[in-house]
Every structure is written in structure tokens, then in C-alpha cells.
Structure 1
Amino acid sequence: MDEIRLKRLRFRAWRRGFKEADLILGPFADKHGQDLTPEQLDAFETLLEQPDQDLYEWIIERRPTPAEFDNDVMRMLKQFRFEAFEARGGGDGG
């Protein structure tokens, strides 16, 4: 694993400029970043290149994820967001 690349991705995940996205992407990168395969890191990096509002709406499923971004990393992000919400006592996950 390229530690420099992972550090950069974590930095980008935490500092999106859109607080709601930061609070999902940052903890996800911290928890799962080191376990992602090189292909999954590529997919995560591609997701981080998308506009904040679009990415956030796909993760919370307010809008459908476009097919080109509907991959295992996006599914992991959605599951992570759901689990984090449940852990805070959020009930139905939405």
C-alpha cells in the first residue's frame, strides 16, 4: 500500500468543504482505507473527484447513483453511512 496515496485520500475525504460529506467520507477513509484494494482505491479516488453535492446525494440515496459510479466502493460507503447512522440511534437509516 502506498502510504502517501492513502494519506492524500484521507485528507481529501475529510476536507471536501461540504460538512455532511466530510462526516461520511472522512471516517470511511480512516476505517477502511488501508483495507481497500488498489482497484478500490482507484474507485474511491474517482468518487472523490465528483462534485460534493452529487456524491453526497448518491451516498444517502436521495438520487440514484449513475451506473459508472455504482461500484463496490459506493456500496461500501452507503453501508458505512447506514451503520454509522444506526450506531447513533438513527432508527430507519434515513
Structure 2
Amino acid sequence: MSADIEMKRLFWHSRRGMLELDVLLLPFLQEAYSDLEPADKERFSKLLTCEDQDMFGWFMQRSEPDDPDLKRMVRMILDRVQPN
């Protein structure tokens, strides 16, 4: 799959219809995804297969994913938007 097609696919999968998720996922995809290591790109794709309610809980820090790969990706996304 070409990189352009893959980015378009990821863009549509990142649009969740829940504002709280959209404001995290879309900017991350547009601003940080291209600089990720291949393994982290796979983790991001894996994250996009999760249910919105699960992701909402993770990003609102009400819970954490059991999967260490998902936990890493959630942390990476949160670290971009949270002040130090």
C-alpha cells in the first residue's frame, strides 16, 4: 500500500466522531505519525482498532489499557498534549 493511501486510511480511522478523541488522534496523526518508528506506527494502527469508549477512558486517564503496546501509544499521545 502506498504511503499516501495509508495516511488517508489512518486519517479516516482516526476520525471517531467523539470530539475528545478527534482532538487527540487527528493532530497526532498529522504532526507526529510520520516521525514514528515502524513499531510505533503499528501500535498506532492497533490503537485505532479499539472501541471509542475504551480509548475515551484511557485518554481521560480513568483507566489504562492492559496491552503494553496500547499503553505506550496512549502515553505518547497524552505526552504531546499535557504540560510538563
Report the TM range for the smaller structure's normalisation. Answer: 0.7 to 0.9
Cα RMSD over matched residues? 2.0
Contact 2:64 2:71 in 1 (8 A): no
- Post-superposition offset of 1:8: 1.4
TM-score (ref. length: structure 2): 0.81
Identity %: 30
- Post-superposition offset of 1:38: 1.8
Contact 1:20 1:56 in 2 (8 A): yes
Gaps of at least 5 residues in structure 2 are none
Could you list the structure 1 runs, at least 4 aligned residues long, displaced by more than 4 angstroms after superposition.
Answer: none
Pair 74,55 (structure 1): closer, same or farther in 2 beyond 3 Å? same
Question: Relative CO higher for 1 or 2, CA cutoff 8 Å, sep ≥ 6?
Answer: 2
Q: Which residue of 2 aligns with 1:45?
A: 45
TM-score (ref. length: structure 1): 0.73
Question: Partner of 1:70: helix, strand, or coil?
Answer: helix
